Amino acid sequence: MLSDQFKRKIDYLRVSVTDRCDLRCTYCMAEDVTFLPRQEVLSIEEIIKLIDVFNELGVKKFRLTGGEPLVRKNIITVIEHLNDLKKQKKIYEHTLTTNGTNLEKYASILKENGIERINVSLDSLNSEKYKEITKWGNLEKVLKGIKSANNEGIKVKINTVLTQDFNDEEIFEIIEWCKKNNCDISLIEVMPIGSIGEKRFDQYLSMKNFEEKLVKKLNLIPSNFKTNGPSRYFTNKVNDQKIGIISAISHNFCDTCNRVRLTCTGKLYMCLGQNDFVDLKFALRNQSKTDIINKIEYAMSIKPKAHNFEINKNNFEGYVDRYMNETGG
Ligand code: SAM
Ligand code: SF4
């Protein structure tokens, strides 16, 4: 079992399988983003090899992310492999975070390959606003995808990034829609990851202030429900709906961190909110499995205690100098 210098057990790996995406969410990446040259990106076989090494070291939960995981060619080969590991009881869960644009096409294939729950990002239920925040996304397509996943019996959790003067009023409608459509929901505070040309400060809506409004309006009570993840949960007293809140800036959640992140180029980031990484690609392509393991163990020894995200009037731009689509959310 992997554990870090603060004795936190690390049994969860998020794997960014591509930096590419068919959307351009304004808080995630710049519209004119330059994607990585293909030779820098790990092959499907290399991703599988690293998954196996992490699994042998005790990692039991894998989430595929990106960029958009469902635009990566042959991504199903990775999911099939994870499903084989699950059938052999070597892992307990494999899942993914998706923008949902290709979900209608993939829902049944995901189900066949053991995916039981997914996170789908959705920031507005208004087609025009959805287009505005994603630059050119088609809301109808995403809603059809969510429906297909639901029909397959895949549990959907909606991820909504709250942005100032954009969806802070609409969020109540989105929460209601989730209840009607049998989806859980997590509300996410914008994190200063990557310089996006637009002022982060203008997008940022502090959960500290917003939570109070939410609790009052929806009759919420804090829930005992806990995962090792960053969400704090609330329950609606009236309809029993569970609402997660991920507030990296206004409420630090690092004490129980159990995860590390692998980028599509083989860099292992020990913390989403710090710049340090350990490069596994050289060892993967040129050295032995022992060298890869040594690098992973070294990474554990330098996993930082906490992120130190900051958004304030003097610090408009991204604190972390890489983009979210590269590291994986
Ligand atoms: N493309 C997929 C999607 O959008 O679900 C997976 C990758 S995306 C980077 C993963 C999650 O990160 C999404 O829920 C997205 O809304 C969130 N995200 C992206 N940039 C963010 C930021 N700067 N702050 C907070 N969340 C962000
Ligand atoms: Fe693409 Fe996801 Fe980033 Fe949106 S949040 S641009 S869907 S990677």
The domain defined by 10-327 carries CATH number 3.20.20.70: yes
CA of 67 from ligand 2 middle (Å) equals 6
Span 17-67, pLDDT tens digits: 999 999 999 989 887 888 999 999 999 999 999 999 999 999 999 999 999
Task: Report which protein residue has its CA nearest ligand 1's atom 19.
Answer: 28
State percent of the chain over pLDDT 70: 91
Ligand 1 probe mutation, 15, 163, 188, most atoms within 8 A of CB: 188
**Which pLDDT score, from 0 to 100, does residue 225 have?**
82
Three state DSSP letters for 174-199: HHHHHHHCCCEEEEEECCCECCCCCC
With a CB cutoff of 8 Å and minimum separation 6, the contacts of 262 are 13, 14, 15, 16, 50, 54, 268, 269, 280, 328
Among 86-100, 117-131, 263-277, where is mean pLDDT lowest? Answer: 263-277
Span 179-211, pLDDT tens digits: 999 999 999 988 877 766 556 667 778 887 888
The band of 316, judged by pLDDT with boundaries at 50, 70 and 90, is: very low
Q: What gap in Å lies between CA 228 and CA 231, rounded to an integer?
A: 8
Which tokens belong to 98? 């998706």
CA of 28 from ligand 1 middle (Å) equals 6
Handedness of CA 133, 137, 141, 145 (dihedral sign): negative
The band of 227, judged by pLDDT with boundaries at 50, 70 and 90, is: confident
- Indicate if the pLDDT at residue 248 is higher than 80: no
CB 66 near ligand 2, within 6 Å: yes
Q: Which ligand is nearest to the CA of 191?
A: 1
Nearest 5°: the CA angle 91, 92, 93 is: 100
Q: Which ligand is nearest to the CA of 195?
A: 1
- Indicate if the pLDDT at residue 329 is higher than 90: no
Task: Report which protein residue has its CA nearest ligand 1's atom 21.
Answer: 28
Looking at every residue in the chain, the average pLDDT score rounds to 90
- Name the more confident of 165 and 280: 280
Question: Domain-by-domain residue ranges, the chain?
Answer: 10-327
CB 99 near ligand 2, within 6 Å: yes
Residue count of the chain, please give it. Answer: 329
Span 99-156, pLDDT tens digits: 999 999 999 999 999 999 999 999 999 999 999 999 999 999 999 999 999 999 999 9
CB 68 near ligand 1, within 6 Å: yes
CA distance readout (Å), 209 to 61, 206, 307, 315: 33, 6, 21, 20
Residues paired with 65 in a beta bridge: 16
Give the atom of ligand 1 at the shortest distance from the alpha carbon of 68.
1
Q: What gap in Å lies between CA 243 and CA 245, rounded to an integer?
A: 7
Span 229-240, pLDDT tens digits: 778 899 988 888
Ligand 2 probe mutation, 18, 31, 70, 99, most atoms within 8 A of CB: 99
Task: Report which protein residue has its CA nearest ligand 1's atom 14.
Answer: 121
CB 299 near ligand 1, within 6 Å: no
* Full strand arrangement of the beta sheet holding 12-16: 220-222, 232-236, 242-246, 184-189, 155-162, 117-121, 93-98, 61-65, 12-16, 259-262, 267-269, 277-279
Number of helices (H), then strands (E), belonging to the chain: the values are 11, 14
**Which pLDDT score, from 0 to 100, does residue 209 have?**
80
DSSP 3-state of 96: strand
CB 24 near ligand 2, within 6 Å: yes
Q: What is the mean pLDDT of residues 88-98?
A: 97
